[in-house]
């Protein structure tokens, strides 16, 4: 039966007719399984208006009551983990265990947001001047919006809205139109948890909906996660419209392998981080910078592991890697195998030959691939491929590896594999990347740290969640107060001088 996904506005599923709709696919079968309504300015305005009207009440809801609702949402999410994971797997293609993993990492942010009373404590200074006290308070911004990518339909929205809502904002989410169902389930769970209507809404859509959000006068801030060209556009457009904005972009994450590394650990890491979720993770390893003396050996160890990888439908327990998200994306990823060879790389592992277990031939399949002898000038190195293709660049030594990584325009994540603590320590200091792993291939920070890259991987100043998330969704106010003792008035009378301390 074909499903139909619509917006969630003001605490209920939206009932109006849709002027435009998009198709939802099951990437493992290649078939359309449903449709999603695509919002225009009218639906966006309805969601923002509901959020604006809900804001004063939510801002003034006590911290204790907000936290009670957050805890209830947490329990409901936990109880619905499998249901969410099944929906994600069916629309995105990732295997169930991976989908469950993303829901768990999103839940971590909800856990973090449950501690919001501690995080919203301002400062207080007694007697900054005689009889005068000063303090700062952190206040919500108002209506804030999140625009999120297809690759983590539950986790990335949860980098944003638990913190934003806990801080007292109201939130309008525009998830990816490719896998829209998880967002609606989360909206239903919020309603069940007792969140007042309008505090969390979901509008589905494409650029039309996003532009309407970016231009809406009642939207105070925009959080975006997606590809670099769109992140740049969002940053510029939102800023032009006077909004606070954080826009996280694409990535080319390097794994540096030094000759003293544990090569089995490095091979396990390259395969897990390169091909998990079919390489469709912003923290996937996509480039291997390997010191030449161990490169041949590493290729062999990766080859052994890839040969054993089971590619198949996400809902089949045997599958370790699913299909890609769309046919067009699969074809684009596969085209880098051809362009890489044309530009001089060696195709050490050809994913087009990899067997697919129980998969529909019309599914968007592409097995894991390894391009060796890749040069920095090749398009398979320069572009973000966002699929199961590892590009190995052979380097002479540590310095050459660091030069390569620092010369790359992206700066999301990176990892070094070595048993030399001194080299690792130097790497963490001099590498120009926002998230660094030492013998850890996917260094996604925990919810109480902040997630974000450098350079072309982030436009704006704040990373997501953790204390930077709290700062992004609040603004501070400094209050200077004088309360005189009963019956006393400060001496001095009228004084036109600029106030100084005394
Ligand atoms: P995308 O940039 O195509 O889309 C992201 C969002 O922007 C979606 O909601 C989409 O509907 C909207 N959008 C698309 N085109 C638009 C336009 N022209 N104007 C306004 N809005 C538009 O990204 P995607 O393909 O959904 O996701 C994959 C990308 O996201 C990869 O580049 C990946 O690296 C990146 N990503 C980055 C991070 C990070 O933390 N830095 C995390 C996850 C994904």
Mean pLDDT of the chain: 97
Mean pLDDT of 3-13: 98
pLDDT of 196-249, one tens digit each?
A: 999 999 999 999 999 999 999 999 999 999 999 999 999 999 999 999 999 999
Q: State residue 393's pLDDT score.
A: 98
Q: Ligand 1 pocket, 459 CB below 6 A?
A: no
**Candidate from 146, 227, 228, 462 with most ligand 1 atoms within 8 A of CB, to mutate:** 227
Q: Ligand 1: which atom is nearest the Cα of residue 451?
A: 40
**In angstroms, what is the span from residue 250 Cα to ligand 1's centroid?**
8
Residue 492 has a pLDDT of 76
86-95, 227-236, 302-311, 486-495: which range is least confident on average?
Answer: 486-495
Instruction: Give me the sheet containing 132-140, strands edge to edge.
Output: 124-129, 132-140, 474-482
Q: Which two tokens stand for residue 236?
A: 């510029």
148 in contact with ligand 1, CB cutoff 6 A: yes
pLDDT of residue 490: 74
Mean pLDDT of 300-312: 98
In this prediction, residues 10-28 reach a mean pLDDT of 96
Contacts of 60 (CB under 8 A, 6+ apart): none
Cβ atoms of 50 and 9 within 8 Å: the answer is: yes
Q: Tell whether ligand 1 has an atom less than 6 A from the beta carbon of residue 282.
A: yes
The answer, yes or no, to whether residue 51 has pLDDT greater than 90, is yes
Kindly report, residue by residue over 391-431, the tens digit of the pLDDT. Answer: 999 999 999 999 999 999 999 999 999 999 999 999 999 99
Q: Give 385 Cα–ligand 1 centroid separation in angstroms.
A: 13
Residue 215, sorted as left (phi over 0), alpha (psi -120 to 50) or beta, turns out to be: alpha
Which protein residue has the closest C-alpha to ligand 1 atom 43? 282
User: Quick check: 486 pLDDT over 90?
Assistant: no
What is the distance in A from the centroid of ligand 1 to the CA of 224? 8
Is residue 114 among the annotated active site residues?
Answer: no
The yes-or-no verdict on residue 372 having pLDDT over 80 is yes
Residue (of 349, 336, 258) closest to 295 by Cα position? 258
Decide: 95 in ligand 1 pocket, CB within 6 A: no
Measured in angstroms, how far is the CA atom of residue 48 from the centroid of ligand 1?
22
The alpha carbon of 315 and the centre of ligand 1 are apart by a number of angstroms equal to: 25
Whether residue 420 contacts residue 260, with contact meaning beta carbons closer than 8 Å, is answered with yes
pLDDT of residue 24: 98
User: pLDDT, tens digit, for every residue of 403-414?
Assistant: 999 999 999 999
* pLDDT at position 117 over 80: yes
Length of the chain: 502
Which residue ranges make up each domain of the chain? 3-249+457-479, 253-438
**What would the mean pLDDT of 51-65 be, rounded to a whole number?**
98
Q: Which residues contact 107 (CB under 8 A, 6 or more apart)?
A: 74, 77, 78, 81, 158
Residue 44 contacts residue 156 (beta carbons within 8 Å): no
User: Residue 502 pLDDT more than 80?
Assistant: no
Q: What is the mean pLDDT of residues 349-359?
A: 95
- Report the atom number in ligand 1 closest to the C-alpha of 152: 43
167-188 pLDDT, tens per residue? 999 999 999 999 999 999 999 9
Q: Which atom of ligand 1 is nearest to the CA of 251?
A: 34
Does the 253-438 domain belong in CATH 3.20.20.70? no
Q: How far is CA 376 from the centre of its chain?
A: 27
Q: Which fold has domain 3-249+457-479?
A: Aldehyde Dehydrogenase; Chain A, domain 1 (3.40.605)
The pLDDT tens digits of the residues spanning 137-147 come to: 999 999 999 99
Position 386 confidence tier, pLDDT thresholds 50, 70, 90: very high
């Amino acid at each position: 039966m074909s499903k139909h996904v619509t917006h969630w506005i003001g605490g209920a599923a939206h009932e109006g007719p849709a002027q435009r709709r998009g198709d939802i696919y099951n990437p493992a079968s290649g078939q359309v399984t449903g449709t999603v309504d695509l919002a225009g300015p009218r639906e966006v305005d309805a969601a923002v208006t509901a959020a604006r009207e809900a804001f004063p009440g939510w801002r003034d809801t006590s911290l204790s009551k907000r936290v009670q609702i957050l805890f209830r949402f947490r329990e409901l999410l936990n109880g619905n983990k499998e249901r969410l994971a099944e929906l994600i797997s069916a629309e995105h293609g990732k295997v169930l265990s991976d989908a469950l993993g993303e829901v768990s990492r999103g839940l971590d942010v909800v856990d973090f947001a449950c501690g919001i009373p501690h995080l919203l404590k301002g400062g207080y200074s007694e007697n900054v001047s005689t009889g005068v006290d000063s303090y700062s308070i952190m206040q919500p911004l108002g209506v804030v919006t999140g625009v999120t990518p297809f690759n983590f339909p539950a986790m990335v929205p949860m980098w944003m809205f638990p913190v934003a809502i806990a801080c007292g904002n109201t939130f309008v989410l525009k998830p990816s139109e490719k896998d829209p169902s998880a967002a609606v389930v989360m909206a239903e769970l919020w309603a069940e948890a007792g969140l007042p209507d309008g505090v969390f809404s979901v509008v589905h859509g494409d650029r039309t909906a996003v532009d309407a959000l970016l231009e809406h006068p009642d939207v105070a801030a925009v959080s975006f996660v997606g590809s670099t060209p769109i992140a740049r556009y969002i940053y510029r457009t939102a800023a032009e419209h006077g909004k606070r904005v954080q826009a996280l972009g694409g990535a080319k994450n390097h794994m540096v392998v030094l000759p003293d590394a544990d090569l089995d650990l490095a091979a396990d890491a390259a395969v897990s981080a390169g091909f998990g979720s079919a390489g469709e993770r912003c923290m996937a390893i996509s480039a291997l910078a390997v010191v030449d003396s161990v490169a041949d050996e590493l290729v062999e160890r990766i080859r052994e592991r890839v040969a054993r990888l089971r590619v198949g439908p996400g809902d089949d327990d045997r599958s370790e890697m699913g299909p890609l998200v769309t046919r067009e994306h699969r074809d684009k990823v596969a085209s880098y195998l051809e362009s890489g060879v044309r530009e001089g790389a060696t195709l050490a592992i050809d994913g087009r030959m990899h067997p697919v277990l129980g998969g529909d031939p019309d599914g968007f399949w592409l097995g894991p691939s390894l391009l060796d002898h890749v040069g920095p000038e090749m398009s398979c190195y320069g572009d973000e491929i966002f699929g199961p293709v590892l590009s190995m660049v052979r380097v002479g030594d540590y310095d050459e590896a660091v030069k390569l990584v620092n010369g790359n325009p992206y700066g999301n994540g990176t990892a070094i594999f070595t048993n030399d603590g001194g080299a690792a320590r130097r790497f963490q200091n001099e590498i120009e990347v926002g998230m660094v792993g030492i013998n850890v291939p996917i260094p996604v920070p925990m919810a109480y740290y902040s997630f974000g890259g450098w350079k072309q991987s982030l436009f704006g100043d704040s990373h997501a969640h953790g204390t930077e998330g709290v700062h992004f969704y609040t603004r501070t106010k400094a209050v200077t107060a004088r309360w005189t003792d009963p019956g006393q008035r400060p001496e001095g009378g009228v004084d036109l001088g600029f106030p100084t301390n005394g």
